Amino acid sequence: MNNIFKFSIYIFLTLSFAWLAFVVGATNQYGDLEPTAESLEEDGSIPPDAELFPKSMAGIAQLGAKEYLSLGCATCHTQQVRSEEAGFDVERGWGKRPSVPRDYILQEEVLLGHNRVGPDLANVGMREYSSEWLHKHLFMPQSVVEGSICQPSPFLYEENKEASVDSIEITNGETNIFIKPSLRANRIVAYLESLHQNYELPEIAFSDILEEDQSVEIASAVAEPETIATAFPSWLSEQMESGKEIYMKVGAGGGLCYTCHQINGQGIPGAFPPLTGSDWVLGDKERLIKLSIHGLMGEIEVNGEKYNGVMAGFGIQAGGPPLNDQQIADVLTYIRNDWGNSASAISPEEVASVRNSVKDRAPNQMWTAAELQSNSSPD
Partner 1 sequence: MKKNPEQEIDQSARFAFSFFVASAGLWLLAAALLAYIAAAKLTDPLFLSSLEFFTYGKIKVSQANAFVYGWGGNSIFAVSLWIIARLSQSLVRGSIFLIFAGAIWNLSITFGLLGILDGHMLGHELLEMPKQVWPALLVSYLIIAFIIFVVFRSRKQKVTIAPQWFIIAALIWFPCLFLFGWSGLELNPGRGTLQSILSIWFGQNVIWLWLTPVALGCAYYIIPSVLNRPIDKYYLAVFGFWCIAGLAPWSVVHHLEGGPVPMWVPAIGTVMSIAMVFPIAVASTNFHSTAFQDVSKVWNYLPLRFVIFGTLSYTISSYIGVIFSLPAVAKLTQFSIINEFHFNQRVYGFFSMIIFGIVYHILPQITGREIGTAAKNFHFWTSALGVFALLLAYLVGGLTHGVLGQQPSLAWATVIESVKPYFLITEYAFLILGFSQLVFVLNLWKVLVPNPFASSDRQANLKTA
By beta-carbon proximity to partner 1, the closer residue of 1 and 310 is 1
Window of 97-105, 232-240, 275-283, 370-378 that interacts with ligand HEC by CB under 6 A: 275-283
Window of 56-64, 81-89, 278-286, 295-303 that interacts with partner 1 by CB under 8 A: 81-89
336 binds ligand HEC (CB under 6 A): no
2 binds partner 1 (CB under 8 A): yes
Residues 221-250 that bind partner 1 (CB under 8 A): 221, 224, 226
370 binds partner 1 (CB under 8 A): no
The mark string for 182-221 relative to partner 1 (x by CB under 8 A, - otherwise) is -----------------------------------xx--x
Window of 27-35, 170-178, 289-297, 347-355 that interacts with ligand HEC by CB under 6 A: 289-297
Residues 341-370 that bind ligand HEC (CB under 6 A): 369
Q: How far is the CB of 303 from ligand HEC (least distance, A)?
A: 8
According to CB under 6 A, which one of 314, 329, 338, 344 is a site residue for ligand HEC? 314
Window of 40-48, 117-125, 163-171, 308-316 that interacts with partner 1 by CB under 8 A: 117-125
8 binds, among partner 1, ligand HEC, none (CB under 5 to 8 A by kind): partner 1
Q: How far is the CB of 192 from partner 1 (least distance, A)?
A: 15
238 binds, among ligand HEC, partner 1, none (CB under 5 to 8 A by kind): none
314 binds, among partner 1, ligand HEC, none (CB under 5 to 8 A by kind): ligand HEC
331 binds ligand HEC (CB under 6 A): yes
* HEC assignment per residue over the chain: CCCHHHHHHHHHHHHHHHHHHHHHHHHHHHCCCCCECCCCCCCCCCCCCCCCECCCCCHHHHHHHHHHHHCCHHHCCCCCCCCCCCCCCCCCCCCCCCCCHHHHCCCCCCCCCCCCCCCCCCCHHHCCCCHHHHHHHHHCHHHCCCCCCCCCCHHHEEEECCCCCCCEEEEECCEEEEEEECHHHHHHHHHHHHCCCCCCECCECCCCHHHCCCHHHHHHHHCCCCCHHHHHHHHHHHHHHHHHHHHHCCCCCCCCHHHHHCCCCCCECCCECCCCCCHHHHCCHHHHHHHHHHEEEEEEEECCEEEEEEEECCCCCCCCCCCCHHHHHHHHHHHHHCCCCCCCCCCHHHHHHHHHHCCCCCCCCCEEHHHHHHCCCCC
Q: How far is the CB of 127 from ligand HEC (least distance, A)?
A: 5
78 binds partner 1 (CB under 8 A): yes
Residues 88-107 that bind partner 1 (CB under 8 A): 88, 91-93, 98-107
According to CB under 6 A, which one of 256, 358, 361, 371 is a site residue for ligand HEC? 256
Question: Residues 305, 224: contact at Cβ < 8 Å?
Answer: no
* Cα 216 to Cα 123, 223, 243, distances in angstroms: 19, 11, 30
